[in-house]
Amino acid sequence: MNTSKAGRIGLQLLAATSIVLLAAGCQFNGLSLPPSVTAARTSVAANAVAAAGSTVSGTALQATNQTTSVISPVAARSSTAQQTSPTPTTAAPIVSSNFATAVREVAARVKPAVVQITNQQVQIDQFNQSVSVPAGVGSGVIYDAQGHILTNNHVIAGADKLLVTLPDGRSFPAKVVGADPQTDLAVLQISGSNLPIAQLGDSSQLQVGDWVVAIGNALALTGGPTVTAGVVSAVGRTVQEPADQNGNAPFLFDVIQTSAPINPGNSGGPLVNLNGQVVGINTLVAGQAQPGVQAQGIGFAISMAAARPIADQLVATGHVTHTYLGVRYLPLNAMIASRLGTTQKSGIVVMQVVSGSPAAKAGLQQRDIVTAADGTNLVDESSLARVLSMHKPGDKVALKVIRGTNTLTLTVTLAALAGQ
């Protein structure tokens, strides 16, 4: 499959992995897809740009620069960041009485704030000289008067320089305010006058069947952003990003599934409701359901409910704080349960406990079966990461553990992931 993620270069989402890393190993399980199903990010690789995007080497889930952490990074809350970040524009939402023109009105309102982001990287040419060349193209959306742009991390990963181009033809060098591979989000900033601004909306109000509009630089076509429309197909999905070169593939939570066509170059662009408000950041598309069978009309956007707190932290501090547990584990299945001599049907099996980690200090051991965290049953690989994503370093989390014939409750004090 040759898919792409708008802004992420050369990445493919793998449907299954044998070892799941605590905040970096969800397996597309929330979509109940067979192991052969793949998802792709929607970025356009540089060679695809040169050919008007007809060929794309990178997919929406194919990020080359995913997080390099291998043990338990998950996003933590930050109420301070939310209080100090710039307030989005409060322009009145569109209220169209004519559905026939609703998408047109949304496009007119939002498209001016949807930018093209060119990822420029330094390479050595045939004369052994360093030259800056475009390595990929994605999208982003300006969301405040300070020129902050919300996009995907995979759009900017590996960049030596970033060039932002507005639909009105103006171009600006962009600085990275902060980026977070674990949530695949990044905030850039440009300096300019009379910048168009898109309003951020409340994705929690979305319902299945609502019409939405996807805007982005599909295939890096000349002439400005492409506008497509569809419906909200599902909300609250959990999907796994494609693994990076280090094998890390983080979970994305509270993802919006949409039928609006999302193509290479769309990554980082907005998913917009008919009120003209940004409710998601287009990030992934589903690839092949099985060899030779391409999935149709299945795209994914990070909900604004999930994206806005991350953007707030990035603007406030330049980084996102992730919690650290310190285990590697496998999902419990019938074969593993039989080998462990347990009748337990669901949970995760601890394969490794890092010495000195919060898990080790709490007494977690290899071959332990963790069945619940904070009172939430662990039903798949993503369940534990989801629970931990609701916490911050220093929080205590109760784990229900089966060890042999005994059932224990261990309390773990989460730490901050080092090296952030």
Q: Which residues are the active-site residues?
A: 154, 184, 267
Instruction: Give the span between the Cα atoms of 233 and 241, in whole angstroms.
Output: 19
Token match 């992931």: residue?
417
| Structure token digits, residue 67 | 């997080």
Token match 């319902």: residue?
207
Q: In terms of Cα–Cα distance, which of 31, 29, 28 is closest to 12?
A: 28
Instruction: Give the span between the Cα atoms of 236 and 208, in whole angstroms.
Output: 11
Distances from the Cα of 8 to the Cα of 33, 45, 60, 288, angstroms: 23, 8, 6, 18
Instruction: Kindly report the length of the chain.
Output: 420
| Structure token digits, residue 203 | 């994705």
Q: In terms of Cα–Cα distance, which of 254, 293, 257 is closest to 382?
A: 254
Find the distance separating the first CA and the last CA of the chain, reported in whole Å: 33
| Structure token digits, residue 90 | 């409060």
Distances from the Cα of 360 to the Cα of 69, 341, 363, angstroms: 18, 24, 5
Tell me how many degrees the CA angle 228-234-237 measures, rounded to the nearest 5.
110
List all residues 6 or more positions away from 65 whose beta carbon is below 8 Å from its beta carbon.
153, 154, 157, 158, 181, 244
CB 41 within 8 A of CB 6: yes
Question: Residue 28 carries which DSSP code?
Answer: S
Q: Cβ–Cβ contacts within 10 Å for residue 36, how many?
A: 13
